[in-house]
Every structure is written in structure tokens, then in C-alpha cells.
């Protein structure tokens, strides 16, 4: 059940997941557009539809589990694991590093797909990949609903994104929105939650 970019963007627009303004991204960069998957995941039927389409692209990797970074990837990770019929784990930031808590453990040799809702630089995904490798798991693929890098990010593993788009972002000291000073930067993401 392949979906076109137009169909995927329509789901984001319908659920209020495309935001326009002045945003401080997790990477520290600034942008005038933000893809808010949290708005998408308020709607289970739409979440299921998109994750089912993405899961179709991942079945070939025959995973044993899905692992995602908290907080943004938790709901997506759950739905992807449900669609693939595998276990679901999420990593949390503790003391500045991604860790498995809550009694979660990844077994040596386990085949995992690392999933994240939106990827810009891929920093959180790369941390989860390292966590899985340290546990002895075999990372077989990476997936996201949205790839904001326009295909530029490289994880060293097969990467599937339902929607790939290049959304302009700026270093903080080069941000035209900051120079204009009309709209303050807001941080809609989850990094830094306590």
C-alpha cells in the first residue's frame, strides 16, 4: 500500500502536523517549518495507515524488535512493532546518554530496526544505533516517517523514510528569522524534557 508524497503531506496537514513559524530544532539549527509527528499520532487511524505503509518497506529485514528514542519515537515505535509483529523497546536519555531503562534489555544477536518519527541530522538515531550495537544486537535498518534531510543523512544501514523532503534550516548565527527579530524561536520537540 504505497502512499504518494502528496497523500502523506495531506495527512500531516489534516492532523495539524505541519507547523510554520520560527523553530529551534533538536540539532540546534533553526527552521521556519516543523513536522510535528505528535499531532499525527493523536489520530490512531492515520498513524496506522502511515506506519503500515512504512512497515511494508521493512518486512524484508526480518526484525526481531523495533527500538526508538524517547520521547518522539515512542508512539511510532509501538505502531511499527505492531505492524511488523515484533517486540517494541524505547531508549531514554539519562545523564546525557541514551540508555535502556524500565527493565528493557536487548539480547545479543537480536535483529533490530531503529525508528524515529522525524530525522533532521539523525543524532538521536545514531545514539540508539550505538546502544543497540553495544548490547550485541544486529541493526538491520533505520526508518522514519519524515526525513527532513532530503536524503542527505547516512546511518551506515539501509534507511527507509515514508516522506523525504528538504526543509531549509540554518545555524543559529545565520538564521534570517533571528535577524528579523519578529518571531521568537520556539522549541516544539522533546529533547531536554525532564
Strand partners, 24: 30
Cell digits of residue 155 = 546511518
Structural domains of the chain, with CATH: 5-180 (3.40.50.2020)
Share of the chain above pLDDT 90, in %: 58
When pLDDT is averaged across residues 153-161 and rounded to a whole number, the result is: 95
CA-CA distances (angstroms) from residue 56 to 4, 8, 139, 177? 14, 15, 18, 39
Residue 190's pLDDT band, with cuts at 50, 70 and 90, is low
Strand partners, 20: 33
When pLDDT is averaged across residues 68-84 and rounded to a whole number, the result is: 94
Strand partners, 97: 94
Taking only the tens place, the pLDDT of each residue in 114-134 is 999 988 888 899 999 999 999
Is pLDDT above 50 for 193? no
Taking only the tens place, the pLDDT of each residue in 24-61 is 987 788 999 888 888 999 999 999 999 999 999 999 99
Q: What is the pLDDT of residue 151?
A: 85
When pLDDT is averaged across residues 78-90 and rounded to a whole number, the result is: 97
Q: What is the pLDDT of residue 150?
A: 81
Q: What are phi and psi of 100, to 5 degrees?
A: -95, 125
Number of residues that make up the chain: 194
Q: What is the pLDDT of residue 65?
A: 97
CA distance 79 to 47: 8
**pTM score:** 0.86
Tell me which of 191 and 99 has the higher pLDDT.
Answer: 99
Share of the chain above pLDDT 70, in %: 96
Cell digits of residue 84 = 511488523
When pLDDT is averaged across residues 9-27 and rounded to a whole number, the result is: 88
Amino acid at each position: 500500500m504505497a502512499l504518494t508524497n502528496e497523500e502523506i503531506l495531506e495527512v500531516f496537514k489534516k492532523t495539524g502536523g505541519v507547523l510554520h513559524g520560527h523553530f529551534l530544532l533538536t540539532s540546534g539549527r533553526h527552521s521556519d517549518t516543523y513536522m510535528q509527528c505528535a499531532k499525527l499520532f493523536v489520530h490512531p487511524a492515520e498513524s496506522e495507515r502511515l506506519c503500515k505503509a512504512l512497515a511494508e518497506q521493512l518486512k524484508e529485514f526480518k526484525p526481531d524488535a523495533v527500538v526508538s528514542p524517547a520521547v518522539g519515537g515512542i508512539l511510532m515505535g509501538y505502531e511499527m512493532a505492531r505492524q511488523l509483529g515484533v517486540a517494541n523497546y524505547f531508549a531514554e536519555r539519562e545523564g546525557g546518554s541514551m540508555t535502556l531503562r524500565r527493565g528493557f534489555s536487548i539480547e545479543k544477536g537480536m535483529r533490530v530496526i531503529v525508528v524515529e518519527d522525524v530525522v533532521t541530522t539523525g543524532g538521536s538515531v545514531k545514539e540508539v544505533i550505538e546502544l543497540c550495537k553495544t548490547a550485541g544486537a544486529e541493526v538491520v535498518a533505520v526508518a522514519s516517517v519524515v526525513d527532513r534531510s532530503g536524503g542527505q543523512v547516512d546511518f551506515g544501514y539501509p534507511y527507509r523514510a515514508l516522506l523525504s523532503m528538504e526543509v531549509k534550516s540554518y545555524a543559529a548565527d545565520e538564521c534570517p528569522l533571528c535577524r528579523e527579530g519578529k518571531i521568537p524561536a520556539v522549541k516544539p520537540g522533546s529533547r531536554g524534557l525532564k
